[in-house]
Each structure stands twice: as C-alpha cells, then as structure tokens.
Amino acid sequence: MTDSPEYKKKRAFYDNLLTIYGRKPVLEALQDHSINIYKLHLADSNKSGGIIEQINSLAEQRGIEVQWHNRQALSRISRNSKQDQGVAADIQLDQHQSVSEFIQQQQTNTPYRLLALDSITNPQNLGMIIRSASAGHIDGIIIPRKGCAALSPLVIKASVGTVFKATLIHCETLQQALEQFQQQQATICTLSSHAKDSLFDYQCEQSIIYVLGNETDGVSQAVSQLSDQQLAIPMNNGVESLNVAVTAALIAFVKPQPE
C-alpha cells in the first residue's frame, strides 16, 4: 500500500520541498515570483510590524498558506532554532528530482553533462558551484543526502538564489547514483593532477558526469573506483590544485566542442 501511485506522488511532492528560514532569505524568496512557495511558517512569538508584517502581507498577496506555530514547533520545522528568527518557508523545487526521474526524462540521443558532489562540506563552495553550473553548460548536479552541506541560508546566499532553479538530482549515496548512471552508459570522470588527458581537450560523445571531491580529502575511494576517465587541469607555476568551486566553473564553461 505504501507503494501506491498516490503515495509515491505525495512522497515526491514532499521530497521536493526545501524549508528555508531566516527573515531576509524568506522575504527575498517571497519577492521573487518565479519561486513557488508552498507554505509560510511564522512563530506566534514574532513581534508584529516591520519585516514580519511585510512577509505576512506578501504571502497573502501571493495566496500562500500561512501557518502560525509556537516557538518550539517552529524550530522543529526550521531545524535551526538559533538562526530561523521565527520564520520559515517551504519552497517547491520543481527542478529537484531523483536519479530515476532525471534518467526517465532524458532523450536517448542527447548526451547530458552533470556534476556529482562527493562530500562538498563548505556552504560557500556549494552555493558557488550551483551558481556556476546553472550559468554554464551543466544539465544537473547530483547531491547525495549525506556528506554534503545542507541547503542552508549560506548556500542560498552564495548561490545567489540559483539553488531554487537549478536541476539538483538527489540521491542517498553518490556511489549508488553513479552506478545507476553507468548502467545508462554515462562516463564517470574524476580529476587528477596525474591524468594524461586534459579537461580542456577531452571529447566524449556519451553523457558525462564530472565528480568533484571533498575540499580536503578529494574524491572518496568508493567513488574513485567507479571512475571511467581521469582528467587533469594543466596548471602553471607549480600550483597543485584549484578551489573546488573554481574547478566546477571551469568544467561548466568548457564548451562542448562540435566535431
């Protein structure tokens, strides 16, 4: 019964909700009409007037359901009582999906380019990666539920709001997700300073997934075992590595070169 189509639909709906919190982030989301907001949550301890008044009336104008809670209930929703400032909102992320959903939507003859995040823990980096990937030639970002930074206000800020519009592909572990993609003939690429092939010259006719590793430890062993292709970014002056968000941007803006 839990697998009924009705249940699946409901689960997918709630899976695609992102709860954001804090007065300014929520206000900014309300002001951007391209962002779908499912529900606004307010603590009844909030003093009326000022920004709370503005948030409340914007929600009314947009016909968004407003729920009032006591302080404790609100912190259960925001999961961050220290920073929620008595305000939270559930955002509907229509571009966020599961691996299977993403794969189903692809057309067989159109290769896609994805980023896969293997334990990106710095919110600033995560936000910058989402921003650059959205601006560049990337069709989606695979983010495992565990190990990566949560989509917190810091991430939203560094992403300059692109997190609400980016195609984010959620999964439990990256290893499982990459195995699913490999079954679809996608090529898994990892970056290595020792690799022979350069990121900038590499041509691939298949779909391609670029794995970005943790800021300190790089790509985990479980994931690097799945790598089909290693690529190097050639560097001058003995520099050994680049910031992970910079690497993501270089990948995102490498032009898929026509033959």
Stretches 51-59, 67-75, 218-226, 240-248: which one binds its own copies (CB under 8 A)? 240-248
What CA–CA distances, in Å, run from 252 to 74, 200, 210, 239, 240? Answer: 38, 11, 10, 21, 20
Tell me: does residue 13 bind its own copies (CB under 8 A): no
In terms of CB distance, is 74 or 158 closer to its own copies?
Answer: 158
Closer Cβ to its own copies, 75 or 159, answer by number: 159
57, 83, 105, 241: which one contacts its own copies (CB under 8 A)?
A: 241
Q: Which stretch binds its own copies (CB under 8 A): 20-28, 49-57, 102-110, 249-257?
A: 249-257
Contacting residue, 82, 196, 255, 257, with its own copies by CB under 8 A: 255
- Shortest gap between Cβ of 39 and its own copies (angstroms)? 25
Query: What is the C-alpha to C-alpha distance for residues 119 and 126, in angstroms, rounded to an integer?
Result: 10
User: What is the pattern of x (binds its own copies, CB under 8 A) and - over residues 121-150?
Assistant: ---x---x--xx-xxxx-------------
Contact 116, 178 (CB under 8 A): yes
Whole-angstrom Cα distance, residue 58 to residue 52?
A: 10
In the three-class reduction of DSSP (H, G, I as helix; E, B as strand; rest coil), residue 48 is classed as coil
| Residue closest to 213 by CA, chosen among 204, 205, 222 | 222
Given the complex with its own copies, which of 153 and 161 has the nearer CB atom?
161
Is 73 near its own copies (CB under 8 A)? no
Structure tokens at 4: 């009924």
Query: Bridge-partner residues for 66, per DSSP?
Result: 40
Query: Does an H or E element contain 21, and which?
Result: strand 17-21
Among 43, 171, 195, 249, binds its own copies (CB under 8 A): 249
Q: Which amino acid is at 82?
A: K
One-letter amino acid for residue 124 of the chain: Q
Q: Please give the residue ranges that form the binding site for its own copies (CB under 8 A).
A: 124, 128, 131-132, 134-137, 158, 160, 162, 165-166, 200, 233, 235-239, 241-243, 245-246, 249-250, 253, 255
